[in-house]
Amino acid sequence: MRYVWPHRKFLYPAVICIFLMVVTYSASIGSILPVLKVLVEDEGLHGSVNKYIAEDRFGCTFITYNSARDREVRDIEDRTAQIRRPKPDSPLYEASLRGGDFIVALNGTPLKALDLFKELASSEQESLEITYRSADGEWREPVQVQVPPLTQKTALARSVIGMIPGGQSKQERMRTLLVILGLLIVVVVVGNAARFMAEYLTVIINTLSILDMRRHMYTHVLRLPLDRFSDNTSDTMSRFVQDTNDIFRGLNNFFQIFVTEPFKAIGPITIAFLLDWQFTLFLLLGTPLAAILFRKIGKMVRRANRRMLVQFGQMLSRLESTLNGMRVVKAYMRENYERRRLFQVDRIILKQQARMGMLEALSSPVIETGAFLIGAAVIYFIANRMLDESGDTGVARFVTLLVCMGAIFDPVRKLSNVYPKLQRANAAAERIFELIDSESEYDQDAGKPDLPTICNSIEFDQVTFRYPKADRPAVSEVSLSVRKNEIIALVGPNGSGKTTLLSLLPRFYNPTAGRILIDGLDIRDISIRSLRKHFGLITQESVIFPDSVRANIAYGRPDASDEEIKAAARRAFAEEFILQLPDGYDTVLGEHGATLSGGQRQRLAIARAILRDAPILIFDEATSQVDPESEMKIQQALETILENRTAFIIAHRYATISGADRIVVMDEGKIVAVGAHKQLLESCPLYRRLYETQFRNEEG
């Protein structure tokens, strides 16, 4: 909800629309009773309301005597009002009338039930003379009965019913029906308009919430330590795509069904409770069982979906590696192998999807079967009362109760379908918040001082580093002192720890043991942001972003002027090919700079470092061969950027080695020799072997 709440300007009207939709839905369900009263019952709508007011006013229940249904009583005509269940404080009970007595006249005027109910409901006299006969038909002396005042709710009911035309003839009933249907049409139109607005607003809320979540995730991911991306980049991408989509669908289901449907059931439950509270309580007995079933199935769905989302990350990883290496796949004709590799992951995903599908398919039939069993018992219960000789449940009431039962079970059925989907979203949310709540590399920097800009010395003091899950250190007990403006070339076999050692300088990783000092300050005691401002970085694989040439050069200094950007490009010998691009500096480069050659990409990376103008440079020289002209220009650009700068260069070319002040030879994570070129040729067998295999031909 922390991503939903900021958009409460949409949430408030959405809640109002949901409330209006629920009210109109309840009103449409409640309208069934008056419609049926008009169509199928003799007393009609007005007679039914008059009966309700009379019962409430005089504290008893009335029925209309029917000799075919009830026990036949001598000399009692059909449609005579009969008293049932008078309360002890009822004016009728106080006047000695009891359950089963028949009221045959009011103030000396014989009245049938409908007319009697109307008089009792509308009478403004203080007392009425009631002529009645006992339950066995014996005449009793007329009695005076006090007339209680109308309560607020009965007065309201009387006022409302007075606005609707009444009568018992066909034409009068049809006129009443038209008025009710007209009101119902208005209610339905308003309800559906509210439903449209509620669903539209919830989609806006959910879209904005997911957008905020992705932004928060991306901001946090950019602050995570580099080791977070060493082996699970595809899983992180899956969380951005698949997991957020699951949450979006879950939020839609939450607002449109999980919140709305229970409220929609409140109206039918209230109507059913007013009509027959015993029936309603019996009907609600299945609710706890349904809740237990929802919870059980939901847990299993959540676990299965979490496993499936992990496999989606694996699938993305295999797809990415295959598509990036498509030339190799085709060259070695390994299409079938790659297909089988991906199908292995697909089968695991299929297994989890099938399990979730089974659980989701199971929940609704189980709930509906249970609802039918309860419904069948309820129908039997109501029908038994209706057909009982002393029953007083009319057809309209019976049908309305059945409709209410369906309206109560319908939200339960929908919830049984949507609850597993919410658990899918819950599993996705767990993975996303696991990422968001992970500690960023800046969290540990609170209160740490900035690094001054002098940088007279850099010292590696017994530095050791081991990658997570590695069985041996990548760098072991390295000690090295570097002076200001000194150029250090690092050489060694692949895997000797050169790149790892230099990755410790800007704190991409923290040493497992030992320390790195800049001007005597341990870099772990310095804020990361101020530390990294002192570094320019050129990686072995020149990183080019899918943006304009101008933006790529200014990546380290986004506030640089156009003239500064162009000056950096000229110093890196990059402007000559930039101006040949379709839009010059505004040309948008393809993904990974695929439209540029390797030498052009490296010159852009050098221009970026020149513009950054940091006092310390880390240059991991590209191993790929470039044409002689590009290599010459790269060397010229490198000479430009190395002026008055401390530099660490992972060297793969003799020209780079020859320009270094010192050469550091590394093997198996350790420094085995340090010195000048000629000195190392004489004293270091490993350097001599590297020179003979990698550099000698180039020198010649």
pLDDT per residue as tens digits for the range 128-138: 999 988 887 78
* Interatomic CA distance for residues 58 and 243, integer angstroms: 63
Whether the pLDDT of residue 496 is over 80: the answer is yes
Find, among 485, 476, 477, the residue nearest to 458 by Cα: 485
* Interatomic CA distance for residues 531 and 507, integer angstroms: 8
Q: What is the pLDDT of residue 389?
A: 41
Which of 126 and 333 is assigned the larger pLDDT?
126
Lowest mean pLDDT across 242-246, 321-325, 339-343: 321-325
**What's the mean pLDDT in 403-412?**
77
pLDDT classification of 315: cutoffs 50, 70, 90? confident
Best mean pLDDT range from 27-31, 55-59, 224-228, 404-408: 55-59
In this structure, whether the domain defined by 43-167 belongs to CATH 2.30.42.10 is answered with yes
Whether the pLDDT of residue 530 is over 60: the answer is yes
Q: What is the pLDDT of residue 387?
A: 59
pLDDT classification of 393: cutoffs 50, 70, 90? very low
- Cβ pair 535, 505 in contact under 8 A: yes
Lowest mean pLDDT across 119-133, 338-352, 512-526: 338-352
Bridging pattern class, strands 535-538 and 616-620: parallel
Bridging pattern class, strands 521-522 and 513-518: antiparallel
User: Which residue is listed with tokens 């939200």?
Assistant: 411
pLDDT classification of 648: cutoffs 50, 70, 90? very high
Q: What is the pLDDT of residue 217?
A: 85
Best mean pLDDT range from 388-402, 446-460, 621-635, 657-671: 657-671
Whether the pLDDT of residue 682 is over 50: the answer is yes
pLDDT tens-digit readout, 61-119: 888 888 777 777 877 888 888 898 888 889 998 888 888 889 999 988 898 888 888 88
Q: What are the two backbone dihedrals, phi and then psi, of residue 643, each rounded to the nearest 5 degrees?
A: -65, 130
pLDDT classification of 460: cutoffs 50, 70, 90? very high
Exposed/middle/buried for 237, CB within 10 Å: 0-12, 13-18, 19+?
middle
In this structure, whether the domain defined by 219-436 belongs to CATH 1.20.1560.10 is answered with yes
Lowest mean pLDDT across 299-308, 540-549, 642-651: 299-308
What is the pLDDT of the chain when averaged over all its residues? 81
Rounded percentage of the chain residues whose pLDDT exceeds 70 = 89
pLDDT classification of 700: cutoffs 50, 70, 90? very low
Whether the pLDDT of residue 467 is over 50: the answer is yes
- Cβ pair 568, 516 in contact under 8 A: no
DSSP one-letter string for 306-322:
HHHHHHHHHHHHHHHHH
- Cβ pair 147, 127 in contact under 8 A: yes
How many CB atoms are closer than 10 A to CB 344?
12
Domain boundaries, the chain: 43-167, 219-436, 536-613
Q: What is the pLDDT of residue 419?
A: 76
**What's the mean pLDDT in 34-62?**
77
pTM: 0.68
**What's the mean pLDDT in 511-531?**
90
Q: What is the pLDDT of residue 695?
A: 61
**What's the mean pLDDT in 486-514?**
90
DSSP one-letter string for 158-209:
HHHHHTS---SSHHHHHHHHHHHHHHHHHHHHHHHHHHHHHHHHHHHHHHHH
Task: Tell me the CATH number of domain 536-613, given options 3.40.50.300, 3.60.15.10, 3.40.50.880, 3.40.50.720.
Answer: 3.40.50.300
Q: What is the pLDDT of residue 423?
A: 81
Whether the pLDDT of residue 694 is over 80: the answer is no
* Interatomic CA distance for residues 462 and 442, integer angstroms: 25
Q: What is the pLDDT of residue 420?
A: 77
Q: Bridge partners of 487? A: 647
* Interatomic CA distance for residues 493 and 512, integer angstroms: 23
Q: Bridge partners of 105? A: 110, 131
Whether the pLDDT of residue 388 is over 80: the answer is no
3-state SS, residue 482: strand
